[in-house]
Structure 1
Amino acid sequence: MDLHPLSLRVTHLAAEAKDVVLIELRAADGRPLPSFTAGSHLEILVADKQPRHYSLLNDPSERDRYLIAVGLAAQSRGGSRFLHQQLRLGDTLVSSLPRNHFPLDEQLQRYCLVAGGIGITPILAMVRWCQAHAKDWRLVYSARNRQRAAFYETLRELDTERVHLHFSDEAGGHLDTVALLDSLRDGEHLYGCGPAPLLDALQAAAGPRAERLHVERFSAPATSAEGNRGDEGFTLHLRRSGRSLWVPPQQSILEALEAHGIELPFSCRSGICGSCQTTLCAGQADHRDLILSDADKAEGRSLMICVSRALSESLELDL
C-alpha cells in the first residue's frame, strides 16, 4: 500500500449483472482524484484489511470519480463478499494510488480488445481511451449468458460494427480463439482480460503472434509439476539489515520473511498484482510472476517475493 493512501467515499452502488456490483468512489475530501491510465487498478483494503485489486473501468480523463465493478467470487477470501454484502453508501475505503500493470501501447493504431466476464472492467477503460484518441478498435466480449454479461446495456450503446458479443449458451460453445487470433490485422495488438480458460486459449493460439498478445489474469496459471533448480531451497541475504535466512523448498520468500518477523506489503500471493515487488541486489531469480516483462526479468533488478525463487544458491534483496 502507498505511503500516502487515498480515502475514497462510496457515492453510488448498483447491481450491474448477476453477481456483479458497480461501485462509484469519490475523494472523501472532495478534491480531484489522481489521474489514471487505461488498464489501471486500485488496491483497496477490505474485509480482513488486506489489499484487493480492482480494475478502473471509467474514462481515464475523469478526475472526479473512480468506477470499479466487483464480481462475487465463488471462493471469495472475504473481499468480494464484503463489497457485495456489507458495503453501504457513504462508507469510506482506503485505497492505493492507481497502478497499471496492463497498459496499452499508445503508439499503436489498431487494438483488438477481448474480455471474458468481469474482465470487461479494464477493457471498458481501454475502449474509452481509444474513442477519445481516434484509434481503430474492436471489442470481443464473451460471457456464459446475457444475465451474467456485465455492462450489457453499455456495450450495446457502443459502435455495433466494432462490438462482438459472444454468449456461450447461445453460440453452443466457447469463443473461437484460433479464429480470433487469425483475424488480427497488420499492426493490430490483442489485449485480453478474463478467466483463465479464455486467456490460456488465447496464449495457446498465439504462436508467432505472441508478441502482439497482452493479457491480465485474475489468478496465476497452474505451475508445471516438473521440478527445476528454482524449486530447491536457497539462502536469502538482506542487504540493509545484514540478516541472512534460509528459504526452504516449499516456502515462498514472502513466507520466509514473515516467519522471521519481517512484514512487507503484499496482496495476491500469486504474482499477479505487483504489491510485493522488491529490489534484487545480487543473485539470479527464478521469476514466476505475471507482472514483469521478459526484458525486466532478464535485467534482474527486481522480483515478486510472493512467487519468485532462486536459480542461484542465494539471492540478496534490498531489505
Structure 2
Amino acid sequence: MSDHPPFPDPSSDGAAAALSLALRLAARSDEAEGIVSLTLVDAAGAPLPPFTPGSHLLVECAPGVVRAYSLCNAPAERHRYLLGVLREPASRGGSAAVHEDWAVGRTVRVSLPRNHFPLSEGPGRVLLLGGGIGITPLLAMAEHLHAQGRPFALHYCTRTAARTAFAERLQQAPFSDSVHLHHDDGPATAAFDAARILGERGPQDHLYACGPAGFLGHVMEIARQQGWPPSHLHQEVFQANVEASPGDQPFEIVVANRDITVLVPAGETALHALARAGIDVMFSCEQGVCGACVTGVVEGEPDHRDQYLTDADRARNDCFTPCCSRSRTSRLVIEL
C-alpha cells in the first residue's frame, strides 16, 4: 500500500478529531448474506467532498468505536457516499453496531475521504481481484476505469452466490462484460484460476487485489511467479492476524511531548496501554492494516508487525503502529 496519510495532527484529540462530517443515513439495503450497503448524504443536500477510487472513510459505528470502510460508488458522484459493511463473526462492536442499530435517518459521523490504495494512471490494462468484502474499493475503481475508457477486468471471488454482494449491480453495469464472478461452490468452468488469469499479462498492466490475507497471499505469490514487477502489484488487506509472540517483553513508551511514561506489558498492545493511561490515539482496525494509528517515533527501535508500512517506512525508523507493533528496545519514545 502507498500514499500514506500524514501522522495524526499533534493538536488532534484522537479519532474523534478526524470525524469532521456529520451525514445522514439515507438508505440501507441487504446486499448479500451478512452484508449491508449504506448510503450517506448531506442532510441539506450539499455536494460531498470528492474522493478518488480506492478511498475509505473512518466511520463512528457506535460511541467511541471507529472503523474504516471503503467507498464503493462511482467517484464522479458527489451526492452520496456508498459503503458496504460485512458483519464480522467476531465483531468487536463496529460491524455489529452497524447491522443491529443503524436505521435510516440516523446521523453518522465520518472523516473526510482518505486513500491508502490509490489507482495508478497509465496506458496498461488494470486487473482487479476481489475476495469477499474486498470487492468494495474495486467497485469504485471499476466505475472510474469504465468512465475513463481504460481496459480492465474484474474477478470477484466468494464462497457462495448468497455471499456475493453487489452481484446484481455488477451484472447490470455497462461494463458487465469485464466482470467475472467465481464461487467456491460454483461450476468448475467458472472456478478462479489465478495462474491463468495472472499469466495473461501485458508489460504495462497493473494488478489491484483486496480481500482476506489468505486470498492476497495466494494471488501475490502467483503474480510474482508469473513475473509481475513489484511496482505493478497493489494490495489492500481486509483481515489480518495479529498474534502475540512467546518472546514478547514488556517495554516503556515515553510520550515526549506530554512528558508521560507508560509501561506496555507483554500481553497488552501499546495502543491499549496508552488508552489505559488516558492517552487517546486515533485508531480503526486494530490489526495493523489501515494505518489510522501510525505514530511518530523519536527514539528506540520498533518491532514492526503491521501490514501497512512499507519497507522504506520501516527503514526510516521514525514511525510505528501501536495497535499491533512492539519495541525491540526497552524504551520507545514517541510523539503524538
TM-score by length of 2: 0.85
CA gap of 1:124–1:217, structure 2 versus 1, over 3 A, is same
Displacement of 1:223: 5.1
Instruction: Write the distance in 1 (CA, Å) between the matches of 2:145 and 2:151.
Output: 7
Choose 84-93 or 174-183, whichever is displaced more: 174-183
Instruction: Write the distance in 1 (CA, Å) between the matches of 2:331 and 2:69.
Output: 35
Q: Kindly provide the amino acid, as one letter, of the partner of residue 197 in structure 1.
A: G
Instruction: Write the distance in 1 (CA, Å) between the matches of 2:215 and 2:191.
Output: 9
1:209 paired with 2:234, answer no
CA gap of 1:249–1:193, structure 2 versus 1, over 3 A, is same
**Higher relative contact order, structure no. (Cα contacts within 8 Å, ≥ 6 residues apart):** 2
Give the equivalent residue in structure 1 for 2:39.
24
Question: Is the CA contact (8 Å cut-off) linking 1:41 and 1:100 kept in structure 2?
Answer: yes
1:246 paired with 2:266, answer no
Displacement of 1:169: 0.9
Question: Is the CA contact (8 Å cut-off) linking 2:211 and 2:239 kept in structure 1?
Answer: no
1:200 paired with 2:220, answer no
2:143 to 128, 133, 145: 128
Structure 2 SS opposite 1:203: helix
Structure 1 SS opposite 2:258: coil
Displacement of 1:186: 1.5
Choose 246-255 or 65-74, whichever is displaced more: 246-255
2:314 to 274, 278, 297: 297
Instruction: Write the distance in 1 (CA, Å) between the matches of 2:265 and 2:163.
Output: 43
Displacement of 1:98: 1.2
Gap regions ≥5 residues in structure 2: 1-14
Instruction: Write the distance in 2 (CA, Å) between the matches of 1:258 and 1:3.
Output: 17
Instruction: Write the distance in 1 (CA, Å) between the matches of 2:106 and 2:262.
Output: 42
Q: How does 1:162-311 map to 2 (within 5 A)?
A: 162-172=178-188, 175-207=192-224, 209=228, 211=230, 212-221=232-241, 231-311=248-328
| Count of residue pairs the alignment pairs up | 316
Q: Kindly provide the amino acid, as one letter, of the partner of residue 114 in structure 1.
A: L
Give the equivalent residue in structure 2 for 1:97.
112
Displacement of 1:191: 0.9
Structure 1 SS opposite 2:120: coil
Displacement of 1:120: 1.2
CA gap of 1:237–1:98, structure 2 versus 1, over 3 A, is same
Displacement of 1:42: 1.2
CA gap of 1:239–1:186, structure 2 versus 1, over 3 A, is same
Question: Is the CA contact (8 Å cut-off) linking 1:48 and 1:78 kept in structure 2?
Answer: no
User: What do residues 13-69 of structure 1 show as CA deviations (whole Å, max 9, x unaligned)?
Assistant: 222222221111001243221111111111111235310111100111221110011
User: What do residues 141-179 of structure 1 show as CA deviations (whole Å, max 9, x unaligned)?
Assistant: 111222221111221134344222112211359633333
Give the equivalent residue in structure 1 for 2:125.
110
Question: Is the CA contact (8 Å cut-off) linking 1:112 and 1:184 kept in structure 2?
Answer: no
Instruction: Write the distance in 2 (CA, Å) between the matches of 1:193 and 1:259.
Output: 33
Report the aligned-residue RMSD.
2.3
Instruction: Write the distance in 2 (CA, Å) between the matches of 1:226 and 1:184.
Output: 43
Instruction: Write the distance in 1 (CA, Å) between the matches of 2:127 and 2:244.
Output: 30
User: What do residues 213-251 of structure 1 show as CA deviations (whole Å, max 9, x unaligned)?
Assistant: 222122213559685xxx333332221122333333332
1:84 to 93, 96, 99: 99
Q: Kindly provide the amino acid, as one letter, of the partner of residue 164 in structure 1.
A: H
2:52 to 13, 32, 37: 37
Choose 207-216 or 107-116, whichever is displaced more: 207-216
Instruction: Write the distance in 2 (CA, Å) between the matches of 1:316 and 1:203.
Output: 35
Instruction: Write the distance in 2 (CA, Å) between the matches of 1:113 and 1:315.
Output: 40
Q: Kindly provide the amino acid, as one letter, of the partner of residue 73 in structure 2.
A: N
Instruction: Write the distance in 2 (CA, Å) between the matches of 1:249 and 1:201.
Output: 32
Displacement of 1:204: 3.1
Q: Kindly provide the amino acid, as one letter, of the partner of residue 6 in structure 1.
A: L
Question: Is the CA contact (8 Å cut-off) linking 1:144 and 1:167 kept in structure 2?
Answer: yes
User: What do residues 84-140 of structure 1 show as CA deviations (whole Å, max 9, x unaligned)?
Assistant: 233222111111111212222234632110112221110000111112222221111
Instruction: Write the distance in 1 (CA, Å) between the matches of 2:94 and 2:249.
Output: 33
Gap regions ≥5 residues in structure 1: none
* Fraction of identical pairs, as percent: 39
Instruction: Write the distance in 1 (CA, Å) between the matches of 2:333 and 2:307.
Output: 22
TM-score by length of 1: 0.89
